[in-house]
Structure 1
Amino acid sequence: MNPRFRIDADGLGRVTFRDPARRQNVLTREVVEVLAGVVEEAEEAARGGSLRSLILESAQPGSFIAGADVNAIAAIEDRQAATEASRAGQALFGRIAALPVPTIAAIRGICLGGGTELALACDYRVADDDDRTRIGLPEVLLGILPGWGGTTRLPGLVGLSAALDLMLSGRPARVSKARRIGLVDRVLPRQQFEERCLALARGLARGKSPRRKRRRALAGRLLDGTPPGRVLVLRAARRQVLKRTGGRYPAPLKILEVVRRGRGRSLAERLELEARAVGELAVSPECKNLLFVFQLREAARKGPWAVGGRAAEVDRLAVIGAGPMGGGIAQVAAYREIPVRMKDIRHEAVAGGLAFARSLFDGAVRRRSLRPREAARRMGMITGGVDYAGVGCADVVVEA
């Protein structure tokens, strides 16, 4: 059973995740259902006095929890269903946060998305000093936001600036950074990790509270800890998002909105803002397209035949970037009689790409693989410009 729950004679409980069928632990629907049962057992044991502290850990090499099941997210087509899925995850992690015994997330390896949100629901987070261990919230890269309490709990733990950096970039943090910003409370040697975690849990069971170091610079305290400072942080973050995305991606802007509107509200109200935002984003075309790209990339890692199915027909192609590479890609497509639109920010680059494609067709004529009239006809299938006209109707867009 994944996860597995056990309690020793000293009242130390351990929830251990391990999925032998996967390379990394993932919070699939089945795993979440088992975890809900485990939490119920832990609640009963805590009330009965047999559970005095709890460790959430992984026996999967190189993986704490890599996040939620992306395929399950991609399958959601209904806004209300997405909102309810977020509420269910929030409720489960809320029960973990409300356990009347100390809880520790023992992080070794990859800890992303729902795995990080699970860790945030614990009282303490410890990580090993392995350079491969990473902790982050990459949901924004999939067109959504942390929907199981992440937008609510993270700012209160690490401060607004650090929380926005993690959520808006989607970049996972190394352990050194996680420790510096307060995302983890302790970094333990990997050779002694399990032993030290058990010692910490037993100390907590005896009522011993470890000291937490929160050394933050004065400027950071002023920005994150005062209303005017928080306004400045949110405004600066919004400017950066708009500069980077042009406002075309709703997820980072929605993260800022949820965090801004949640200030001063109750935990329940903040979680509801988060859940409703998940409902909006999960069914958006941006999210669906980013999830599809992620699935293709993951399938490609498994080998050229892993994607399966029949290749889609491509009737129109767009190429972003019109240098020699863009011109070469355009010529290959036009040679196969696929209309191509090249786009660049400079007219000179577009002209250069068209000239390069024409030179390739001229070479085909010299080699007598094409007649001059046929080469001219296929060259006519390539157009270019500095705007996005014609790009939106393409079946495939290639960045050159």
Structure 2
Amino acid sequence: MAEPILPPTRNWHFEIDLEGIGWLTIDTPDAPVNTLSRAALEELEALVGHFEALARDRTLLGVVLKSDKPGFIAGADITEFDAMSDPAVLPEALRRTHRLFDRIEALPIPIVATIRGACLGGGLELALACHYRIAVNDEATRIGFPEVKLGIFPGFGGTGRSIRQAGPVDAMQAMLTGRMLKPGAARGMGLVDKLVRHPDQLRWEGRKAVLADKRSAPAGLGKRLMAFGPMRSYLAKRMRDEAKKKTNRLHYPAPYALIDMFETHGGDWKRMSAAEPDAFVPLMASETAANLRRVFFLSEGLKKQGLRGADKPTFQRVHVIGAGVMGGDIAAWCALRGMAVTLQDLDMARIKPALDRAKKLFRKRLKKPVAVNSAIARLEADPQGLGLARADVVIEAVVENLEIKRSIFADAIGRAKPDAILATNTSSIELERIAEGLSDPSRLIGLHFFNPVAQLPLVEVIRSQFNTDASVAKGASFALAIGKSPVIVKSAPGFLVNRVLMPYMLGAVNRVEQGESPELLDAAAVAFGMPMGPIELMDTVGLDVGRSVAAELGHDVPETSRFAKLVAEGKLGRKTGQGFYRWEDGKARKSDTPSHPDLPALGRELVRPLVDETERAVAEGIVASPEHADIGVIFGTGFAPFLGGPLKARQDNRA
């Protein structure tokens, strides 16, 4: 290899080999992932000027863009977003990047992007400005536009270029959902041109692509037709209808702004890209975007709670005791995430429904028969509990009965490996009570999952007065290892999430008892920004579970109440087909919602007990900080992310 022809840069390394091929490597210093910071883009601007000069001199045959990290480029540097949201700074910064990417695309020599790991947001926009894209076809490679999750949309020309390559339907769906695509799907859409099996092949294939002057073809006419004339307005209307099912424009304006831009400019990809800055700037400066950035940083902060470096544990085997809905689904999730799992209950009749649900989950998430069958093989029925002695993690998930839980751990502590995690999935009982009588009560921690396990990201890692920092951090490490977000919570009745949820749900139930419409209350909560209303949530949780947690937390449920009568009659909500609502095919059948002059204001009134209780929980030290309370309540209850959490919403006078 020749020596670098440029002075050293902090974010890039460039060299030309004996064949005249340039190798441009991004390696963001002192960071686990590559990002396109302002400094990185300024350096790239200088590099592109050299490429242009070398191309004119015919001393550069082409350039291969690659990464020295396991990932490609994770996007723009989000830590700069707050400063960049200034309308006096952002428009010109966007236009400057647009000009840079246009210059890359206009180079007369081929520019080939070789992708491994995450290629997201601005990273994908840069790749689309290159002439050809090669990606590793493995589980680590993910490609997409997650910007909508931060209250914005692609702003470096990616809206138009993705439509050019994938057609309007696929490109808009990718941008509107923020979904990360597997490499095969990205190849099928046209965002990637070639797949290789192993990262070691990228260099060779990049070289071949430069020598062959490979250029990516745009989407065919069949894909592009939906961007023309009246068809574009029809498609835009369908997109808005779909968006309305999931988001409120007042809460999440970005998807609607993107659809509006597509309806106006989507017939010409260059005009679509050129329109980005004007539509992007107000979104970036919005409260929604600022709060979603806050949620992102809080979520990332949770990853620091596990053990790292040489202390980072590995988890290969999990033993779950209790094959009910929670235990069975925890076991299935662990198997999905690659761990060997044994699932124990009294007999096979109790375990089989959990195995059947697990197969459905594996088929839905993994799709490929080989992957599905591997996951099925990793989940083993274990009525005798033989797997307990080999497990790295033992999780109890039986009914909320103190004596049963004590009995299970009295047996487990003598059989489990000395370094195994012993954890209870209790939703409300203090750990000190469960650990009473154990030979070593410090070994018992709480790992409180939320239903549905496969959808809700939170795990409350419960700390008792007996636990050490290391044992709690090990529990957080396990949650991270299975792709969950751990929030460390002090052992106290209801912990954090159930404690703050119960006053909210019971307050709404009491209003129904007094004659108010459950449909109206639920609609008001959704108008405020909750994912579902409190009455539907109570039915989803299960009225028996709700009443049990209410009793544990000291909330009175009168025997004469409708709530108590429904429980007595076995009408427990979604799982029995009848609760406050009648349920069919997993959906609540609701009557028409009565009219109300201000649904969001009513929703704010309904949510107030939740916010009040969150403040009390922080004051009592249940969580380490208001920030942990906010992210815990968002992840555990679905509290409106666009508000930044209950305490942030109160601070902003919005809750």
1:360 is aligned, of 552, 555, 560, to 552
Bigger relative contact order (CA 8 A; separation at least 6)? 1
Q: Which residue of 2 aligns with 1:203?
A: 212
Q: Which residue of 2 aligns with 1:192?
A: 201
Contact 1:119 1:125 survives alignment (8 Å): yes
In structure 2, the CA distance between the partners of 1:29 and 1:347, relative to structure 1 (3 Å rule), is closer
1:28 is aligned, of 21, 30, 37, to 37
Q: How does 1:1-400 map to 2 (within 5 A)?
A: 1=9, 2-61=11-70, 63-190=71-198, 191-204=200-213, 209=214, 220=223, 222-224=225-227, 226-247=228-249, 248-264=251-267, 267=270, 269-303=271-305, 328=494, 329=496, 332=499, 345=533, 347=535, 359-362=551-554, 387-389=603-605, 391=607, 394=611, 396=630, 398=634, 399-400=636-637
More displaced stretch, 341-350 vs 130-139: 341-350
1:109-144 superposed Cα distances (whole Å, 9 cap, x missing partner):
110011000011011111122221111111000001
Q: For residue 54 of structure 1, give the secondary structure of its aligned residue in structure 2.
A: strand
* Shift in Å, 1:229: 2.7
Provide the rounded CA distance (Å) in 2 between the counterparts of 1:141 and 1:103: 30
Number of corresponding residues:
351
Provide the rounded CA distance (Å) in 1 between the counterparts of 2:243 and 2:547: 36
* Shift in Å, 1:77: 4.4
Q: Which amino acid aligns with 1:275?
A: P
More displaced stretch, 112-121 vs 125-134: 125-134
Provide the rounded CA distance (Å) in 2 between the counterparts of 1:266 and 1:162: 14
Contact 2:161 2:273 survives alignment (8 Å): no
Provide the rounded CA distance (Å) in 2 between the counterparts of 1:136 and 1:361: 44
Q: Which residue of 2 aligns with 1:375?
A: none
Contact 1:158 1:183 survives alignment (8 Å): yes
Provide the rounded CA distance (Å) in 2 between the counterparts of 1:129 and 1:104: 17
> Tell me, which stretches of 5 or more residues in structure 1 are unaligned?
307-320, 365-384
Contact 1:65 1:112 survives alignment (8 Å): yes
* Shift in Å, 1:255: 1.0
Contact 1:345 1:386 survives alignment (8 Å): no
State the percentage of identical aligned residues: 33
> Tell me, which stretches of 5 or more residues in structure 2 are unaligned?
1-8, 309-450, 452-459, 461-492, 509-524, 526-531, 557-600, 616-629, 638-655
Provide the rounded CA distance (Å) in 2 between the counterparts of 1:126 and 1:84: 31
Q: For residue 80 of structure 1, give the secondary structure of its aligned residue in structure 2.
A: coil
1:298-342 superposed Cα distances (whole Å, 9 cap, x missing partner):
111122799xxxxxxxxxxxxxx9xxx9x945774699x99x977
Contact 1:331 1:360 survives alignment (8 Å): no
Q: CA RMSD in A?
A: 3.5
Provide the rounded CA distance (Å) in 2 between the counterparts of 1:213 and 1:120: 11
* Shift in Å, 1:349: 6.0
* Shift in Å, 1:392: 7.5
Provide the rounded CA distance (Å) in 2 between the counterparts of 1:266 and 1:142: 23
Q: For residue 125 of structure 1, give the secondary structure of its aligned residue in structure 2.
A: strand
Q: Which has the larger radius of gyration?
A: 2
Q: For residue 15 of structure 1, give the secondary structure of its aligned residue in structure 2.
A: strand
* Shift in Å, 1:354: 8.5
Provide the rounded CA distance (Å) in 2 between the counterparts of 1:129 and 1:349: 40
Provide the rounded CA distance (Å) in 1 between the counterparts of 2:500 and 2:77: 36
Contact 1:140 1:170 survives alignment (8 Å): yes
* Shift in Å, 1:165: 1.0
* Shift in Å, 1:355: 5.7
What TM-score, normalized by structure 2, do the two folds share?
A: 0.49
* Shift in Å, 1:391: 3.6
* Shift in Å, 1:273: 1.9
Contact 1:350 1:386 survives alignment (8 Å): no
Provide the rounded CA distance (Å) in 2 between the counterparts of 1:98 and 1:177: 27
What TM-score, normalized by structure 1, do the two folds share?
A: 0.77
Provide the rounded CA distance (Å) in 2 between the counterparts of 1:213 and 1:274: 20
Q: For residue 275 of structure 2, give the secondary structure of its aligned residue in structure 1.
A: helix
Provide the rounded CA distance (Å) in 2 between the counterparts of 1:39 and 1:45: 10
Provide the rounded CA distance (Å) in 1 between the counterparts of 2:20 and 2:548: 73
